[in-house]
Amino acid sequence: MVTIKDVAKASGYSVSTVSYALNDSDNIPQVTKDKIWAVAKKLKYYPNAAARNLKNKSTNNIGFFISGFTGPVYHKIYDGVASVINNSKYHLILSFSQNAKRMIRERQIDAAIIMCPQVEDSVIEHANRLGMPVFVLDRLDNGDEHTYSHMLDSYTGAKLATQQLVDEGHQTIAYLSGIVGSFVDDERYRAFHDVISSNGSIQEKVYFGNFTESSGYELVQQLQGTLPFEAIFCANDEMAIGFIKGCMEYGISVPEDISVIGFDNVDISQYINGGLTTIDVDQGKWGSEVAQDLLDVLDGKHVDKQKVCPVQLHLRNTTKKRAS
């Protein structure tokens, strides 16, 4: 491996001068820099990251931790984050939740973005003790000094979805829950309930799912294809998709027999039943805002500790006015 020593020897300068030149220090005249750069290039010298990181106490790497890639996850967020980070001096590194603990503790990264529930709070607290900024996505902030939280506006989204079903004139409206107790599900149910309650005559039904496609599918099976409601708001798209698949098997027409709304506007939702009505999030924008805030924090700027990401109703082909 060629080290800075080799460049020093070959160029006739000292190690310090080579280091200064290569890091573009003001104290080195351009001619010297040119000579040293030429030698470095000829020798194909590249600094050893471990040595540099050890000395600098920083890595210029930003860790982005996720659960996995299969399933309709939020790919556009990654690209939104990446587009911003890639234009900075930092480098984006993705890894799975189980690596977060190690990479944070061992200081392999300067900051983290965490988008998976699997990372324990204790890990985030450890990062905070190290002074490492952590951005948590769609997860409640723990109040730590260096922790920031960007969340989808689940409440508003669920309100829009439910209101749409109410406006369509359905009399009995169901909610298919995600994992009960999760922040996201709590918010979505709360909004659903609030809207239904403020419309006296409408009946509310609640079923329990777990955010997976199969839990949506299974609901139709459990009901044996006889749906005691005219519309359903599923706490996410995957369940809505499963639910619609179930309907197909029982010959239930969407949206003629039943209106279905999801949440998230995942990639595949446009292909479901000619388009799933859902709550849309500008994921790319969400990601780039997170990334920009993160860069600002690393830059010593002040940034809001909590942000909410706006959502909107995206009407497509799975909801319909009730034929009265």
Partner DNA sequence: CTGAAAGCGCTTACAG
Cα–Cα distance, 161 to 148 (Å, whole number): 28
Structure tokens at 63: 């860790």
* 68 interacts with, out of DNA, a copy of itself, none, CB within 5 to 8 A per kind: a copy of itself
26 vs 106, which CB is nearer to a copy of itself? 106
Paired sense of beta strands 311-314 and 278-281, if any: antiparallel
Decide whether 211 or 229 has the Cβ nearer to a copy of itself.
Answer: 211
Q: Which does 5 bind (CB under 5 to 8 A by kind): DNA, a copy of itself, none?
A: DNA
Q: Which does 70 bind (CB under 5 to 8 A by kind): DNA, a copy of itself, none?
A: a copy of itself
Give one DSSP letter per residue of 248-307, joined into a string: HHTT--TTTT-EEE-SB--GGGGGGGG--BEEEE-HHHHHHHHHHHHHHHHTT----SEE
Which of residues 48 and 221 has its CB atom nearest to a copy of itself in the complex? 48
DSSP 3-state of 316 = coil
CA dihedral 214, 220, 153, 278 (to 10 degrees): 100
Binding at 130: pick from DNA, a copy of itself, none (beta carbon under 5-8 Å per type): a copy of itself
Q: Is 131 in the site for DNA (CB under 7 A)?
A: no
Backbone angles phi, psi at 275, to 5 degrees: 120, 120
Residue numbers of the site for a copy of itself (CB under 8 A)? 1, 44, 46-54, 59, 61, 68-70, 72, 75-76, 78-79, 82, 86, 91-96, 98-99, 102-103, 105-108, 126, 129-130, 267-268, 271-272
Phi-psi region of 275 (alpha: psi -120 to 50; beta: other; left: phi over 0): left
Which residues make Cβ contacts (< 8 Å) with residue 306, sequence separation at least 6? 141, 148, 149, 150, 151
Among 47, 68, 225, 310, binds DNA (CB under 7 A): 47
Q: Which is nearer to a copy of itself, 103 or 158 (CB)?
A: 103
Using CB under 7 A, which of the segments 49-57, 120-128, 172-180, 303-311 binds DNA?
49-57
Listed residue (268, 219, 257, 222) closest to 239, CA to CA: 219
Instruction: Map residues 13-32 to x or -, x wherever contact with DNA holds by CB under 7 A.
Output: xxxxx-xx-xx---xxx--x
Among 34, 41, 42, 51, binds DNA (CB under 7 A): 51
263 lies in the binding site for DNA (CB under 7 A) = no
Separation between Cα atoms, residue 133 and residue 136, nearest integer Å:
10
Residue nearer to a copy of itself on the CB measure, 134 or 195: 134
Residues within the interface to DNA (CB under 7 A): 1, 3-5, 12-17, 19-20, 22-23, 27-29, 32, 45-48, 51-52, 54-57
